[in-house]
Chains A and B, each alone.
Chain A
């Protein structure tokens, strides 16, 4: 089966940089995604890595190391609105085609003044 591990909570100050790590165990791995969820809302897609390296999207970057089964989300110039839960998710390719999306337990980020 699949398992993903993330820290449960991270606190940082406005303007700072924070890194949220994710380690995973899975079969048929195809890529690692990151999602943001504000309280009571739906998760929204942030970024995706299928290959090793860094993907940058504005203030957010995501990194993947397939050999280490490890990735991280980097948030720069933190703003109060970044306070939310962040989930890593593994996309597995299934036998016969198709894919399955499994989420980690999530990291609650609190941004303080």
Chain B
């Protein structure tokens, strides 16, 4: 079955350490996104990518980095520069086809990162 997979589901890290969150999709989607969600809050865009080897900063990119070396994969690194990294991180993918019906974004199950 096609889908988008994030791992791990829960992640604990010590303050000051970098950590990389995995996101893989087999939906053949060109666009991939990373969002951060804090308790009771909306989804804030961290980074997004429309095509392999290209990505753009979202609204809250500081302290994060990404790569897009393969169409299927869009890992997110939370660096030690991120001042408040504890949050729920969601990865999504979508088609870039402008056709009206190809607009759905598919989400992974999320990674809950706790920095202690």
Query: Inside 8 A of A106's CB, which chain B residues have their CB?
Result: 41-43
Tier of interface size on chain A: 20 to 34
CA distance A18 to B32 in the complex (A): 32
Is the beta-carbon distance between B96 and A87 smaller than 8 angstroms?
A: no
A69 to B90, CA, bound (A): 27
Given A1-B59, A99-B50, A99-B96 in contact, is the A104-B42 Cβ separation under 8 Å?
yes
Q: Does B64 contact A (CB under 8 A)?
A: no
Question: Which residues in window 1-19 of A have CB below 8 A to B?
Answer: 1
Is B92 among interface residues, defined by CB-CB distance under 8 A? yes
Interfacial residues of chain A within 72-100, with CB under 8 A of chain B in the complex: 87, 89, 91, 93-94, 97-100
Shortest C-beta distance, B68 to chain A (Å), equals 12
**Which of chain A's residues have a CB closer than 8 A to the CB of B105?**
33, 35, 43, 45, 89, 101
A105 interfacial contact with B, CB 8 Å: yes
Cβ contact of A87, chosen from B40, B42, B45, B109, cutoff 8 A:
B42
Closest to A2 in B: B59
**A89 CA to B103 CA in the complex, in Å?**
11
Contact A33 to B41, CB < 8 A, known contacts A42-B90, A93-B98, A99-B31: no
- Whether B42 pairs with A105 at a CB distance below 8 angstroms is yes
B104 touches A87 (CB 8 A): no
Within 8 A of A (CB), among B57-77: 58-59
- Contact, CB under 8 Å: B50 / A42: no
A60: interface (CB < 8 Å): no
The 0/1 profile, CB within 8 Å of A marked 1, for residues 95-109 of chain B is: 010101101111111
Cβ A97 vs Cβ B109 within 8 A = no
Which positions in B face A, CB cutoff 8 Å? 30-31, 33, 35, 40-45, 48, 50-51, 56, 58-59, 90, 92, 94, 96, 98, 100-101, 103-110
Closest 7 CB pairs of A and B: A98-B50, A105-B42, A42-B107, A103-B43, A45-B104, A106-B42, A48-B103
Can you identify 9 A-B contacts, CB atoms within 8 angstroms?
Answer: A31-B103, A43-B105, A45-B104, A50-B100, A87-B43, A98-B96, A99-B31, A100-B58, A101-B92
